[in-house]
Amino acid sequence: MGGIDKGLASYRHKPLISYALRILKPQVDTLLINANRNIDSYQAFGYPVITDSLDNFCGPLAGMLSAMQAVDTDYILTAPCDSPNISSQLRQRLMESLILEQADIAVAYDGDRLQPVFSLISCSLKGDLQAYLAEGGRKIDLWFERYKLAIVDFSDQQDSFVNLNYLEDLSSKNSAIKAPVPLIGFAAFSGTGKTTLLQQLLPILKAKGLKIAVIKHAHHNFDIDIPGKDSYEIRQAGAQQILVSSSRLMALMETQPIGMTAPSLADLIPRLDCAKLNLIIVEGFKHEVIPKIELYRPSLDKPLLYPDDSNIIAIASDEKLKIPAEIEQLDLNDIDSIVSYIEHFINNWTA
Residue 149: pLDDT band by 50, 70, 90 thresholds? very high
User: What pLDDT is stored for residue 174 in this prediction?
Assistant: 42
Summarize pLDDT for 281-297 with one digit per residue, the tens.
Answer: 999 787 788 999 999 99
Residue 230: pLDDT band by 50, 70, 90 thresholds? confident
Give the pLDDT mean for 4-11: 88
In angstroms, rounded to a whole number, what is the distance separating the alpha carbons of residues 246 and 244?
A: 7
- DSSP letters, 91-126, are HHHHHHHHHHHT-SEEEEE-SSSEEEEEEEEEGGGH
CATH superfamily of 6-170: Spore Coat Polysaccharide Biosynthesis Protein SpsA; Chain A (3.90.550.10)
- Burial class of residue 109, CB neighbours in 10 A (0-12, 13-18, 19+): middle
In angstroms, rounded to a whole number, what is the distance separating the alpha carbons of residues 286 and 192?
A: 14
**Range with the lowest mean pLDDT among 27-41, 245-259, 301-315?**
245-259
In angstroms, rounded to a whole number, what is the distance separating the alpha carbons of residues 299 and 319?
A: 9
Give the pLDDT mean for 139-143: 93
R_g over Cα of the chain: 25
Residue 228: pLDDT band by 50, 70, 90 thresholds? confident
The pTM assigned to this predicted structure is: 0.55
User: What pLDDT is stored for residue 173 in this prediction?
Assistant: 37
Summarize pLDDT for 103-112 with one digit per residue, the tens.
Answer: 999 999 999 9
Of the candidates 109, 146, 103, which has an alpha carbon nearest to the alpha carbon of residue 128? 146
User: What pLDDT is stored for residue 113 in this prediction?
Assistant: 92
**Range with the lowest mean pLDDT among 92-101, 143-152, 228-237?**
228-237
**Range with the lowest mean pLDDT among 16-20, 165-169, 323-327?**
165-169
Dihedral (C-alpha) 330, 336, 339, 341: value to the nearest 10 degrees? Answer: -40
Number of C-alpha atoms within 13 angstroms, CB side, residue 136?
0
**CATH 3.40.50.300 for domain 183-220+264-347:** yes
Give the pLDDT mean for 298-322: 90
Give the pLDDT mean for 99-118: 96
Write down the domain spans for the chain.
Answer: 6-170, 183-220+264-347, 223-261
What residues does 119 pair with on adjacent strands? 78, 107
- Residue 317 neighbours by CB distance under 10 Å: 19
Give the pLDDT mean for 3-24: 86
How far, in Å, are 46, 109, 137, 182, 296 from residue 286 at the CA level? 28, 29, 46, 17, 14
**Range with the lowest mean pLDDT among 225-234, 258-267, 312-321, 342-351?**
258-267
DSSP 286: T
Summarize pLDDT for 39-88 with one digit per residue, the tens.
Answer: 999 999 999 999 998 877 778 999 999 999 999 999 999 999 999 889 88
Specify the higher pLDDT residue, 170 or 12.
170
User: What pLDDT is stored for residue 124 in this prediction?
Assistant: 97
User: What pLDDT is stored for residue 261 in this prediction?
Assistant: 53
Number of C-alpha atoms within 13 angstroms, CB side, residue 36?
13
Q: For residue 95, what are the contacts with CB-CB under 8 A and spacing of at least 6?
A: 75, 106, 120
Q: Residue 227: pLDDT above 50?
A: yes
Summarize pLDDT for 240-286 with one digit per residue, the tens.
Answer: 778 888 888 888 877 766 554 566 787 788 888 888 999 999 997 87
User: What pLDDT is stored for residue 221 in this prediction?
Assistant: 63
DSSP 186: E
Phi, psi of 129 (to 5 degrees): -65, -40
Q: For residue 56, what are the contacts with CB-CB under 8 A and spacing of at least 6?
A: none
User: What pLDDT is stored for residue 177 in this prediction?
Assistant: 74
User: What pLDDT is stored for residue 117 in this prediction?
Assistant: 96
